[in-house]
């Protein structure tokens, strides 16, 4: 089956599932559905790789001089 | 000079040790805090100022941190409060309500516009540059973006994000939901044209 009423529910779960915020029972249900449903599995893989991509390109390293400036703010002993 | 009881030097030594440990732990987390800070504000300069203000305040009020709790979340709570205080509201020009589509909007748009079958990962990476994504994220309205950055860039739980921003967890979830939809709608425009 390509699409059923569970897929609507799956769209609701998808983000909390990726956020690891579902409880055990919900996660088990979501995983069972993903295993059997190509429609949702494709979207799951996409959403997961989008998440990783966004995090990767939006992560900017801290300038090393800033770290020194922060360390200089420490209370002198 | 005040009278120092025999236990006082000991107490001071313990306090100094605790403070040094706190400062070291806070500094170790600074790279991670910066990654979040950088996406909460528009420029590197602002992020650097905000980090310095945050660490100055954290080092001053280190006693209010409870050891064993999430220090990264504690630091970000200071940082987000300072960010809100420092006239962020000023910049809040009459904000346009951004266009928002469904959760799978970006996927569907990419799928529609893709001629040959290709892997999903390539479809995103090939069509979007770093500037596209950073630009789209910075265009998400502040309230939504704060949550989005904490959860998606900072990898905080909903509960942590709720505590950092001092909002109910249900509000975290709804802002995250909307923020991601707004982001994906903007990314779809970048990837396949508006």
Would you list the DSSP string of A3-45? --HHHHHHHHHHHHHHTT-S-HHHHHHHHHHHHH-HHHHHHHH
Report the range of poorest mean pLDDT among A45-49, B30-34, B45-49, B70-74.
A45-49
C-alpha of B11 from chain center: 37
Closest-CA residue of A relative to B188 is A50
B190 band by pLDDT with thresholds 50, 70 and 90: confident
The string of pLDDT tens digits covering residues B109-148 is 887 777 555 555 566 777 888 999 999 999 999 999 999 9
Calculate what percentage of chain B has a pLDDT beyond 90.
63
B108 band by pLDDT with thresholds 50, 70 and 90: confident
User: What integer best gives the mean pLDDT of chain A?
Assistant: 88
Residue tagged 């928002």 (tokens): B100
The string of pLDDT tens digits covering residues B64-100 is 999 999 999 999 999 999 998 876 555 554 456 677 7
Torsion on CA atoms B177, B183, B186, B192, rounded to nearest 10: -90
Nearest to A57 among B20, B106, B134 (CB): B134
CA angle (B97 as vertex; B91, B98 as ends), nearest 5: 100
CA atoms within 13 A of residue A41's CA, in its CB half-sphere: 11
- Give, to the nearest 10 degrees, the angle between helix B7-28 and helix B71-83: 70
Confidence (pLDDT) at B138: 92
Q: What is the Cα–Cα distance from B38 to A38, expressed in whole angstroms? A: 38
Instruction: Tell me the two tokens of residue B14.
Output: 């313990």
The answer to whether B82 and B54 have CB atoms below 8 angstroms apart is yes
ipTM of the assembly? 0.88
Closest-CA residue of B relative to A11 is B103
Residue tagged 């959860």 (tokens): B151
Section A49-64 average pLDDT: 93
**Contact B27/A67, CB-based, under 8 Å?**
yes
A6 band by pLDDT with thresholds 50, 70 and 90: low
Q: What is the Cα–Cα distance from B157 to B163, expressed in whole angstroms? A: 10
More confident residue, A1 or B141: B141
Confidence (pLDDT) at B1: 54
**Contact B153/A53, CB-based, under 8 Å?**
no
Section B23-30 average pLDDT: 98
**Contact A11/B104, CB-based, under 8 Å?**
yes
Question: The whole model's pTM is what?
Answer: 0.86
Instruction: Count other Cβ atoms within 10 Å, centred on residue B106.
Output: 28
The string of pLDDT tens digits covering residues B143-176 is 999 999 999 999 999 999 999 999 999 999 999 9
The dihedral of CA B45, B47, B48, B52: what is its sign? positive
B3 band by pLDDT with thresholds 50, 70 and 90: low
CA atoms within 13 A of residue A16's CA, in its CB half-sphere: 20
Confidence (pLDDT) at B117: 55
> Does A1 have pLDDT greater than 60?
no
**Contact B121/A49, CB-based, under 8 Å?**
yes
Nearest to B56 among A47, A73, A77 (CB): A73
């Amino acid at each position: 089956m390509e699409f059923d009423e569970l897929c609507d529910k799956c769209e609701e779960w998808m983000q909390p599932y990726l956020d690891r915020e579902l409880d055990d029972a919900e996660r088990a249900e979501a995983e069972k559905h993903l295993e059997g449903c190509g429609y949702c599995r494709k979207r799951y893989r996409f959403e997961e790789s989008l998440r990783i991509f966004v995090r990767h390109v939006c992560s900017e390293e801290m300038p090393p001089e800033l770290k020194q400036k922060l360390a200089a703010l420490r209370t002198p002993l | 000079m005040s009278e120092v009881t025999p236990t006082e030097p000991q107490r001071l030594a313990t306090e100094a040790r605790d403070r040094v440990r706190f400062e070291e732990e806070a500094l170790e987390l600074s790279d991670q805090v910066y990654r979040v800070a950088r996406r909460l504000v528009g420029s590197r300069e602002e992020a650097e100022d905000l980090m310095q203000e945050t660490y100055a305040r954290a080092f001053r009020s280190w006693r209010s941190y409870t050891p064993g709790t999430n220090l990264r979340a504690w630091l970000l709570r200071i940082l987000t409060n300072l960010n809100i205080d420092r006239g962020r509201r000023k910049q809040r020009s009459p904000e346009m309500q951004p266009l928002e589509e469904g959760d799978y909007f970006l996927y569907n748009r990419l799928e529609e516009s893709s001629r040959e079958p290709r892997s999903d990962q390539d479809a995103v990476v090939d069509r979007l540059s770093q500037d596209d994504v950073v630009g789209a994220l910075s265009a998400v309205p502040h309230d939504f973006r704060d949550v989005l950055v904490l959860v998606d860039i900072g990898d905080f739980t909903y509960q942590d994000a709720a505590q950092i921003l001092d909002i109910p967890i249900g509000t975290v979830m709804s802002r995250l939901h909307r923020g991601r939809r707004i982001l994906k709608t903007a990314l779809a425009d970048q990837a396949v044209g508006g």
